Every structure is written in C-alpha cells, then in structure tokens.
Amino acid sequence: MSEIPWWALPLVAVVFALAGAGVTLLVSARDEYARSRAKRTKRWYAERKEAYIALMTEFERATYRLRAAYDSGQNPPGPYTYIDAVGPALMQVRLLSSGPVRSAALAVHLLIERLYGERPTPPPGVDPEKSVREMLGHVPLVMQQFEAAVREELGIEASPPPVEPPARGGLRSYIRRPVAPAPTGDSSVPR
C-alpha cells in the first residue's frame, strides 16, 4: 500500500494547471508586446513618410509656381500664399522629425520663402532677373540635402536589396533531386 495521501494527486494537478496557465499568460503577453511594438514602429515610419512626402510636394509646387511666374513675366504670388500652402506640412515635419531632417527642411523653406518675399537685391553688376534664377537653381540642391536626411532617418537605401536565389521546393524537390556521384579520385582507373 502506498503512503501517498489522497489529496496529493489533486494538489499536483492544480499546481501544474496553474503553472501552465501562468506560462500561457506570459507567452501571450510577450507576443502582444511584440505585436504592439511592431505596430508602433510601422506607424512611426508611416507618419514620418507621409509628412515628408507632403512637405516635399508643397516645396515642389511652390518652386513650380515661382518658375511659372518668372517664365511668363508676371509677379510671383505673395509670401502669404506660400506660407498658407507650406505651413501645415512644415509644422508636421517640425514636430515629427529628427534634428538633421528638421534643419534640412527649414533650409529649403527659408530659401523658397526668400524667393517669395520681396525681390532680393542682387550684387552690383548682376541682372536682378538672373539673381532670382540662380536662387531658383539652388532649390533642387538644397532639396537633395533634405531628401538625403530623410533617407538616412528612415533607413531608405538608394540601391535595391540583393536578389536571393529562389528557395527549393521543400521535401519533394529534395527527393526528386538527382544525387551527384561521389568523387572517386583518379577518373582513369576503373573501380
């Protein structure tokens, strides 16, 4: 006869059930944390990418308006037109971006804002029209610095990822694959 009390078996079952429930709770909490962290990371990238695209679009529109106005010989739109168009996108970038991106965005903004403001006074001996054209020519260069800062912050590579060879089809392809003969050393001597 066994000297194990009658209540030992139910007690062991309860202890193991509680341990299993605890492990299940810990694993599900860990998975939920990983999922929420992945969601936050995706949202972080999406918010910033949308903000940067909106600001770049507004910068391009503003530059196009200036070029069109100067090409047609008309006066450019007033500075408030530019501020009204770019303001919301610029504020979003200023709130969301890191220091280098913020600085690059503000550099582009200040250059375009100067072009929309009163006509800059050119150096002596330079045609005022050419001075504005030269400043317009600087906008794409400053935009490149902004784009480079955005690429660095978001981790966007300029080249595509390397192409990986296609994976084999699993167990079936392994079974169907012909087996290469084992090397025999000297092929002139028959074995």
Q: Where are the domains of the chain?
A: 48-157
Stretch 163-167: mean pLDDT: 70
Q: Rounded CA gap, 149 and 107, in Å? A: 12
Number of CB atoms found within 10 A of residue 120's CB? 11
Residue 158: strand, helix, or coil = coil
Q: What is the largest CA-CA distance in the chain?
A: 116
Compute the radius of gyration of the chain from its Cα atoms.
33
What confidence tens digit (pLDDT) does each residue in 108-155 have?
A: 999 888 888 766 566 676 666 667 777 788 888 999 999 999 999 888
Question: In this structure, is the dihedral angle defined by the CA atoms of residues 151, 144, 57 and 92, taken in order, positive or negative?
Answer: positive
Q: What pLDDT is stored for residue 91 in this prediction?
A: 92
Task: Indicate whether this model's pTM tops 0.95.
Answer: no
Cβ-contact 142, 55 below 8 angstroms: no
Query: How many residues are present in the chain?
Result: 191
- In this predicted structure, the answer to whether residue 99 has a pLDDT above a threshold of 70 is yes
What confidence tens digit (pLDDT) does each residue in 30-57 have?
A: 988 888 888 888 888 889 899 999 999 9
Cβ-contact 153, 104 below 8 angstroms: no
Tokens encoding 82: 């530019």
Stretch 1-23: mean pLDDT: 87
